[in-house]
Chain A
Amino acid sequence: MRLEIDRVAVAIGAKRIVHEASLTVEPGSIVGLIGPNGSGKSTLLRAVYRLLRPAAGYVRLGGDDVWQLSARESARRTGVVVQETPSDFEFTVAEVVAMGRTPHKGMLAGDTAADGQILAAALRRVNMGAFVERQFNTLSGGEKQRVLVARALAQEPKFLVLDEPTNHLDIHYQLEILELVKSLGITTLITLHDLNLAAAYCARLYMLSAGRIVAAGAPEEVLTPARLREVFLVDAVTGRHPVTGALQLAFVATPHRHDGEA
């Protein structure tokens, strides 16, 4: 399902966080949103999955304005994986994934056999079938993230939103979660801090700086040394990954000028 963000502006209180952002995710492709801390990546995502209503512009999914859809209809189309503050309450893995059926269920509807199949399939898809009865809180970071992806899959979404899915994961799990997302073949909009991962897994990148999209295109077009210096304040040397051939960046700390030093 095609996502189109059309001149969207988002404000929190009186402060504009995102200005006139336009972006397109073609069906079946993975598009990355990159930018320094505070550049508005997560805020823009929130306008897509209906946490923050845009002050201006449109978010269209499959041709429909998501803010004109009902909350439930929107959640039937869009699966969301976000960083969530940990809860003191304990859910089992099965219960966490079962939440994914919420937008498909009326107030009185119980779980059917079909729901059971969907949940089982979602867990197997992320290789977590053996963890069904485990308490979610006892899982490792990588396992939790995979369960959250399974929950999004249980929504049977046509479109996925992932906000920093590799945060706090070791390199093994970072690669694993992104391989998983890639293997799903679902239209995906993802924010990533790691620019090398973004270059390796995203067909297209959009770079945000201070709430504005300053570059868009294939990773090679967006991640140029000049732009990295300007937006991320680092010097970078570009190269190729020796195995995959993907664009790779090596960073050099920009000499920092402290007050009182030469």
Chain B
Amino acid sequence: MSPGWVTGMVRPLCKTFPRRFACSKHSLQAFSERFEVTVEHSSEGTALADGAVPKVVAHRSSATIRFWLMLAGLLVALIAAIVLAVAIGAVGIPFATVVQVILSHLFPGSVEATWSPTQDQIVWQFRLPRALLAVIVGAALAISGTVLQAMVRNPLADPYIFGISSGASVGAVAVLTLGAGVVGGLSLSLAAFLGSLGTMLLVYLLAQQGGSAAPTRLVLAGVAVGYVLSAVTSYLVLRSATPGGGAAAVLYWLAGSLGGAKWEYLGLPSLALLVAVLLLLLQARPLNALLAGEETAVGLGVNVERFRLQLFLITSLLVGVVVAISGAIGFVGLMIPHITRMLVGSDHRRVLPIATLLGAVYLVLVDLLGRTLIAPQELPVGIVTAALGGPFFLWLLRQRRPGGGA
């Protein structure tokens, strides 16, 4: 223990508290030198006279360093995961070739072509778009789940809490079972997106009262609308449960899949993700305040009603766009935020970027497993996320000390 620490000053009853401030600016340098030798633990209930400041600084900087290391590690992991996902499959492609093919398309003429046109096609036309779709979907679900859990202050919230996936399902299943002609010639994705958009508006209108929508009402409205729409989906599926009626295609879509990935499908989702991530990253502080409680957030200067509406719109649109292409992939948006909080705590300034990257890495790897585990058949990614993620999450949960930190 450094000499500045005073121990044994146990809470004095009704005494005035030490009123010393350590506020001089140049003292920070001294602190940063001191905290490295400062012993981390001080017995509980011990009051500090000096030394509290270096402790705070030490805490903040060690957490900050860990955060940046983790962020850098995840970026590297993301690139590695993409290369891995592109290399592995029915036809194996060497890592070097994967990188060369990608470079040759990004910067034409930069690499001399030593690979076959088939390899080029596998990498550029099939596997890379699919890996990138996994990145987009994983990131979008993870950040939406994080934000929505904070918004409704409920650890069970996921990106589909407002019924958005049920709306998308109705749209998609209508196309699959009734045929595109019946729903006005809409494509599967467009029908799904319109379904989610309609649901989102319906839920908001149903939940609002006197110009504002409390989170509990939003969740309840979302759940209720979700049930009704699930009934519609089930009815459509049963109706079509005849040979050639599309029931298998429906089940496949409902489980969620990245199989349909093409370059031309990536534009809108990646734009939506980019805009949403930028907007949400800027809201980290108000999100912290909101997670602490509505009254706290108001006391800290957050315009809670307007803020909630913003969050609702951003996440709903993002999730709607993503669900329209991939189906309702479960579990990522529920689990990744919690894993992230276990790693870096609840401060959204760290949680948001880490969760976004973690979700992306996770879905790329899970999709890779899904298409290789029982090759040549393919497991829908939604099944793999839940089957793998569930046990892993439970294991992680059991690792934690009761009430302990991240």
- Residues of A63-115 contacting chain B, CB below 8 A: 70-76, 78-80, 82, 84-85, 87-92, 94-96, 98-103, 105, 107-108, 111, 113-114
- Residues of B51-75 contacting chain A, CB below 8 A: 51-53, 55-57, 59-60
A176 touches B299 (CB 8 A): no
Q: Which residues of B contact A75 (CB under 8 A)?
A: 299-301
B11 contacts the other chain (CB 8 A) = yes
Q: State A91–B57 Cα separation when bound (angstroms).
A: 17
Q: Which residues of B contact A155 (CB under 8 A)?
A: 300
Q: Which residues of B contact A114 (CB under 8 A)?
A: 25
Q: For B405, give the chain A residue with the smallest CB separation.
A: A135
Q: Which of A84, A91, A101, A113 contacts B295 (CB 8 A)?
A: A84
Q: Which of B59, B155, B286 contacts A88 (CB 8 A)?
A: B155
A127 touches B18 (CB 8 A): yes
Known contacts A125-B17, A183-B16; A76 and B301 CB within 8 A of each other:
yes
A72 touches B293 (CB 8 A): no
Q: Which of B23, B55, B303 contacts A121 (CB 8 A)?
A: B23
Minimum CB–CB distance for A68 against chain B, Å: 14
**Which of A51, A85, A92, A127 is the most central at the interface, judged by chain B CB atoms within 10 Å of its CB?**
A127
Q: Which of B56, B149, B295, B301 contacts A82 (CB 8 A)?
A: B295
Known contacts A89-B153, A108-B282, A121-B22; A133 and B299 CB within 8 A of each other:
no
Minimum CB–CB distance for A22 against chain B, Å: 23
The segment out of B313-321, B340-348, B378-386 that lies at the interface is: B340-348
A132 contacts the other chain (CB 8 A) = yes
Q: Report how many residues on chain B are interfacial, defined by Cβ distance under 8 Å.
A: 61
Q: Please report the number of residue pairs spanning A and B whose Cβ atoms sit closer than 8 angstroms.
A: 188
Q: For B29, give the chain A residue with the smallest CB separation.
A: A113
The segment out of B39-47, B191-199, B233-241 that lies at the interface is: B39-47
Minimum CB–CB distance for A261 against chain B, Å: 42
Q: For A107, give the chain B residue with the smallest CB separation.
A: B282
A133 touches B405 (CB 8 A): yes
Minimum CB–CB distance for A75 against chain B, Å: 3
B289 contacts the other chain (CB 8 A) = yes
Q: Which residues of B contact A88 (CB under 8 A)?
A: 153-155
B103 contacts the other chain (CB 8 A) = no
Q: Which of B45, B299, B347 contacts A91 (CB 8 A)?
A: B347
Identify the A interface with B (CB < 8 A). Answer: 13, 46, 49-51, 70-76, 78-80, 82, 84-85, 87-92, 94-96, 98-103, 105, 107-108, 111, 113-114, 116-117, 119-121, 123-127, 129-135, 137-138, 152, 155, 161, 172, 175-176, 179-180, 183
